[in-house]
Amino acid sequence: MTSSTSSRSPRLSTSRALARLFPFVRPVMPRIALGAVSALAASLLSLGIPLVLESVVGGPLSSGDPAQLAWGAAGVLALGLLEAVMVWARRWFVLAPAARVEYELRVGIYGRLQRLPVAFHDRWQSGQLLSRMMQDVGVIGRWLSFGLVLLVVNVITIVAGTLVLFRWHWLLGTVFLVCSLPLWIAGYRFEKRYGALARRSQDQAGDLATSVEESVHGIRVLKAFGRGHHALQRFARQAELLRETELDKARAVGLIWFWLVLLPDIAFALCLAAGIVLIQLGEIDVAALFAFFAMATVLRWPMESIGFLFSFLLDARTATDRVFEIVDEPTTVADPDDPRMLGRVRGALAFEGVRFRYQDAAEGERDLLDGVDLALRPGETMALVGLTGSGKTTLTTLPGRLYDVTGGRVTIDGVDVRDLSLDELRANVGMAFEDATLFSQTVRENVLLGRDDVDPFGSDGEAVLREALAVAQAGFVDALPDGVDTVIGEEGLSLSGGQRQRLALARAVAARPTVLVLDDPLSALDVDTEALVEEALREVLADTTALVVAHRPSTVMLADRVALLRDGRIDAVGTHAELLRGSEHYRHVISSLEAEEAAEKAGEAAEGHVAAAPLAEAGASGPAAPTPEPESDADPGIRDRIDPQKEATR
């Protein structure tokens, strides 16, 4: 799902593709225009130098008038100085706008990523998003800061300069122009090849970034299963692909430079030959030929740079395409045009004939949710039970519109959730998930994430925070180094799974939702803590409607009613006792939950012994393993040290 996502948008012409940047460029247009004017001035000044030279060589040099010579030299010097100032001015004018456009684009994409539905994030690898946001936006910024301006100005310079060449003699101008044609062809062909390579390399760089990201996230799993060197092999293969592409790019650049150097030299030689003949025929004088070469020298760099600037243009176009692939993604989960208001919310949550299938579900497979009908009364706690993979998690994502239903509707107080503004919906629906995500912020910020209506450091914020922490049994935060102001998450203090879950739950509670959806949010808690949490939840959220995916019989028993999910439908609804009596499948599900719970309890009881076991195992199996990991190979001394011991214990 990487390169394939790239080719969906219809192909625009390069100019139209790049024109899409205009809204981002508009605010800095004046400065870019001033930069272009400076660049144009610089190049026109450089075109003036050969003209002054011509008059010097034709006039004072042959007449030998020192005063006039000095004036001529001063003129050339002044032109050169002015040109330098203008080059500086161009850089000065365009630097800030480029940084500004990069900033606008990055903030724009980031905002977009926040608005795009979860389904989008399922489809896109994070590395792809990362590389588009950093690398591609960087390319666009650099192109705007000098590629675009130079391309325009160099084309103008070439046209103006060539016209002057024709002024001296049409034959010289023609020879020069004809000789530069292959240069343009080479540049064009280069541009096509390089563009394809640039795109490939950017995609591959995105894949590589994904690999790094995945292995950093999954470092524990990789280590625990000794997969480190497989991951390395995979990474090396991907890096090799990128290396090959980069080499191809470098070869293409090498070849174009060969032509860029050779062709102008041939042109110079031919022009020199033609010029000498023309002088002998008396068609032009030496001064004109001299000035012609001075002009040809001035034009050489713009001529040479054209190929490069074209390829840069293509890079920028590729980067723009990649960036707009994200910008163009439809925000399918969006505010309705004419949102309805809930008014005084009661909190009746209902699923009415809800159907759902994931976008990447196999063709012909039945819908994961195949007509779910379920109504929760205001204030009711409903447990959701079903076998693993039956779609419980999926069902819990629908009320908060993390995904939209593909059929039927979900309603709160009879209003379709798609008719509410997202702000209102999410203020009313609280969620907590099994894999608790915390951000690199303080405990306080993490818990009060959904409450931008209170001042986190004010007394109201403090009250909300304390209550939420109490409900979630998260008193442990006071023992953290800075209490609730300790930074946690990836860049802060690491917390255990159970601690993370409790904070995620506190976050859901702090949001004071009307409808609370909990997907196994207590799975990492021990049984006793879970019971405490549930009791507190029932008390504090007495008027909150709750849909709780249950993974323990004890949770199920605390609920007012239980819904059994089976084959994409609600198979039965009732109290725990009713279902136990009436449903064979329910008894089956509950007995499997009980078996899990028993295993869990056994595990907790044996914890002391278990902790020591892996260490002992690792020590014993390391040297004896048939294919030792490179990690242990890296230090052969370890083997030597362990082996004698092994011999001794035998």
∠ CA 456-461-462, nearest 5°, is 105
472 binds ligand ADP (CB under 6 A): no
Q: How far is the CB of 463 from ligand ADP (least distance, A)?
A: 34
Q: How far is the CB of 359 from ligand ADP (least distance, A)?
A: 7
What does the alpha-carbon distance between residue 536 and residue 471 come to, in Å, rounded to a whole number? 5
What does the alpha-carbon distance between residue 384 and residue 556 come to, in Å, rounded to a whole number? 8
Q: How far is the CB of 391 from ligand ADP (least distance, A)?
A: 4
Query: Exposed, middle or buried: residue 556 (CB in 10 Å: 0-12, 13-18, 19+)?
Result: buried
CB nearer to ligand ADP: give 200 or 551: 551
Q: Which residues contact 386 (CB under 8 A, 6 or more apart)?
A: 392, 564, 565, 566, 589
Q: Are 505 and 533 in contact (CB under 8 A)?
A: yes
365 binds ligand ADP (CB under 6 A): no
> Measured at CB, which residue is nearest to ligand ADP?
393
Q: How far is the CB of 591 from ligand ADP (least distance, A)?
A: 17
389 binds ligand ADP (CB under 6 A): yes
What does the alpha-carbon distance between residue 575 and residue 530 come to, in Å, rounded to a whole number? 20
CB nearer to ligand ADP: give 43 or 390: 390
Q: How far is the CB of 434 from ligand ADP (least distance, A)?
A: 9
Which span (385-393, 487-495, 540-548, 617-625) binds ligand ADP, by CB under 6 A? 385-393
CB nearer to Mg ion: give 48 or 386: 386
What does the alpha-carbon distance between residue 521 and residue 551 come to, in Å, rounded to a whole number? 10
570 binds ligand ADP (CB under 6 A): no
What does the alpha-carbon distance between residue 332 and residue 251 come to, in Å, rounded to a whole number? 44
* Residue 394 binding: pick among ligand ADP, Mg ion, none (C-beta 5-8 Å cut-off by kind): ligand ADP
CB nearer to Mg ion: give 289 or 384: 384
195 binds ligand ADP (CB under 6 A): no
What are the beta bridge partners of residue 385? Answer: 564
Chain Cα centroid distance, residue 432: 25
64 binds ligand ADP (CB under 6 A): no
What does the alpha-carbon distance between residue 354 and residue 472 come to, in Å, rounded to a whole number? 31
Q: How many residues bind Mg ion (CB under 5 A)?
A: 1
∠ CA 357-548-556, nearest 5°, is 120
125 binds ligand ADP (CB under 6 A): no
393 binds Mg ion (CB under 5 A): yes
358 binds ligand ADP (CB under 6 A): yes
CB nearer to Mg ion: give 551 or 576: 551
583 binds ligand ADP (CB under 6 A): no
Q: Which of 63, 388, 459, 627 binds ligand ADP (CB under 6 A)?
A: 388
393 binds ligand ADP (CB under 6 A): yes
CB nearer to ligand ADP: give 358 or 476: 358
Q: Three-state SS for 586?
A: helix
554 binds Mg ion (CB under 5 A): no
117 binds ligand ADP (CB under 6 A): no
For residue 383, which phi and psi values (nearest 5 degrees)? -90, 140
H helices present in 116-227, as ranges: 118-123, 126-131, 137-142, 148-168, 170-217, 219-224
Q: Which residues contact 79 (CB under 8 A, 6 or more apart)?
A: 45, 46, 48, 49, 52
157 binds ligand ADP (CB under 6 A): no
Q: How far is the CB of 616 from ligand ADP (least distance, A)?
A: 34
* Residue 365 binding: pick among ligand ADP, Mg ion, none (C-beta 5-8 Å cut-off by kind): none
Q: Are 157 and 43 in contact (CB under 8 A)?
A: yes
User: Contact residues for ligand ADP (CB under 6 A)?
Assistant: 122, 358, 360, 368, 386, 388-394
User: Contact residues for Mg ion (CB under 5 A)?
Assistant: 393
